[in-house]
C-alpha cells in the first residue's frame, strides 16, 4: 500500500512538477508575448507619434504651401499687372526714345553749327574757352560801339556843319542861278513865227522854257529899231501867243514873221 502510495505520490509530484514546468514554460511564452506585445505597442505608439508628428509637419508644410501658393497667385497677378504697365511704359519709352533721337539729331546739328562757328572764330576756340572768347568779343564790341558813338557824334557835327554850309551854298547857288536867269532874260531874244493882223495877235518861237510869263512885257524890233509892243496871252513851253498893242505900232507898220522880240524892261540883278 505504501508503495502504491509512494508511486501515486511520485506520480502526483511528477505530474505537479510537469504541470509546474509546463505552466512555467507557458508563462514564459506568455511573458515573452506580453513583452513583445508591449514592445510592439511601444513601437507602434512611437511610430504613431512619429506619424502624427509627420502629419502635423505635413499639415504645416501644406498650410505654408497653400499660403505660398496664394502669395504666388497674388504675385503672378501683380506681375501680370506690372507686365501690362511695363508694356505701356515700354511703348511710352519707345516714343520717348524716338523723340530723344530726334532731339539728339537736332542737338548734333546745332553742335556741328557751333563747331563751324567756333572754327570761324579761329584761335583754337573750344566750348571750354567759348565764354572767354565771347567776353573778348563783347569787350571788343563795346570798344567799337564807343568808337562808333564818337564817330557818330563827329559825323553829326560834321553833317550839321555841312548842312549849314550846304544851305549857304544852296542859297548862293540859287542867288547865282536867279541872277544868271535874270541876266539871261535881260539878253533874251525870240523870233516872231506867225502874225494874224485881223485878230491882232502873233506867235513867238519861245515860251515858259525861256522864262516868259504872262507879266512879261515884250518889244518887237526890226533891223535894230523898235516898231511895237506885245503882251503874252497864252504861254506854252516852246511858244507864246501874244496880243499886239496896236497903239504902239508906228504909222503904216505891220508886224511880220522874222521880227525880233526882246524884253521891254530888263530884270533887276
Q: CB of 201 within 8 A of CB of 241? A: yes
The yes-or-no verdict on residue 263 having pLDDT over 80 is: yes
Cell of 157: 557835327
Report H helices in the chain: 2-121, 130-186
d(CA 260, CA 193): 10
The yes-or-no verdict on residue 177 having pLDDT over 50 is: no
The yes-or-no verdict on residue 174 having pLDDT over 70 is: no
pLDDT, mean of residues 245-253? 87
Digit-coded pLDDT (tens) for 98-120 = 888 888 788 778 777 766 776 66
Q: How confident is the model at residue 84 (pLDDT cuts 50, 70, 90)?
A: confident
Q: Model-level pTM?
A: 0.32
pLDDT at 131: 75
Place of cell 515860251: 207
The yes-or-no verdict on residue 213 having pLDDT over 90 is: no
d(CA 146, CA 80): 72
pLDDT, mean of residues 126-150? 75
CB-count exposure of residue 28 (10 Å: 0-12, 13-18, 19+):
exposed
Digit-coded pLDDT (tens) for 25-79 = 777 777 777 778 888 877 877 777 887 788 888 788 778 878 878 887 887 777 7
Q: CB of 238 within 8 A of CB of 207? A: yes
CA-wise closest residue to 265 among 212, 217, 199, 202 = 217
Digit-coded pLDDT (tens) for 179-197 = 444 434 445 789 999 999 8
The yes-or-no verdict on residue 255 having pLDDT over 80 is: yes
Amino acid at each position: 500500500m505504501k508503495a502504491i502510495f509512494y508511486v501515486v505520490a511520485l506520480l502526483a509530484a511528477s505530474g505537479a512538477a510537469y504541470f509546474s514546468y509546463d505552466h512555467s514554460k507557458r508563462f514564459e511564452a506568455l511573458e515573452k508575448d506580453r513583452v513583445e506585445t508591449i514592445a510592439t505597442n511601444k513601437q507602434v505608439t512611437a511610430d504613431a507619434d512619429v506619424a502624427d508628428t509627420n502629419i502635423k509637419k505635413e499639415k504645416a508644410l501644406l498650410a505654408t504651401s497653400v499660403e505660398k501658393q496664394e502669395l504666388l497667385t497674388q504675385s503672378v497677378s501683380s506681375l501680370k499687372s506690372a507686365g501690362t504697365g511695363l508694356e505701356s511704359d515700354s511703348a511710352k519709352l519707345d516714343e520717348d526714345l524716338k523723340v530723344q533721337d530726334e532731339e539728339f539729331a537736332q542737338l548734333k546739328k546745332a553742335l556741328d553749327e557751333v563747331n563751324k562757328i567756333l572754327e570761324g572764330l579761329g584761335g583754337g576756340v573750344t566750348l571750354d574757352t567759348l565764354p572767354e572768347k565771347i567776353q573778348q568779343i563783347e569787350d571788343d564790341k563795346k570798344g567799337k560801339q564807343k568808337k562808333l558813338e564818337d564817330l557818330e557824334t563827329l559825323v553829326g557835327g560834321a553833317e550839321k556843319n555841312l548842312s549849314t554850309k550846304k544851305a549857304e551854298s544852296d542859297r548862293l547857288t540859287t542867288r547865282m542861278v536867279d541872277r544868271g536867269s535874270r541876266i539871261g532874260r535881260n539878253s533874251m531874244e525870240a523870233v516872231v513865227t506867225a502874225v494874224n493882223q485881223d485878230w491882232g495877235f502873233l506867235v513867238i518861237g519861245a515860251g515858259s522854257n525861256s522864262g516868259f510869263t504872262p507879266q512879261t512885257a515884250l518889244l518887237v524890233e526890226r533891223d535894230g529899231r523898235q516898231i511895237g509892243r506885245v503882251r503874252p496871252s497864252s504861254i506854252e513851253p516852246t511858244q507864246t501867243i501874244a496880243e499886239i498893242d496896236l497903239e504902239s505900232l508906228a504909222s503904216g507898220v505891220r508886224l511880220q514873221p522874222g521880227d525880233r522880240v526882246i524884253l521891254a524892261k530888263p530884270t533887276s540883278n
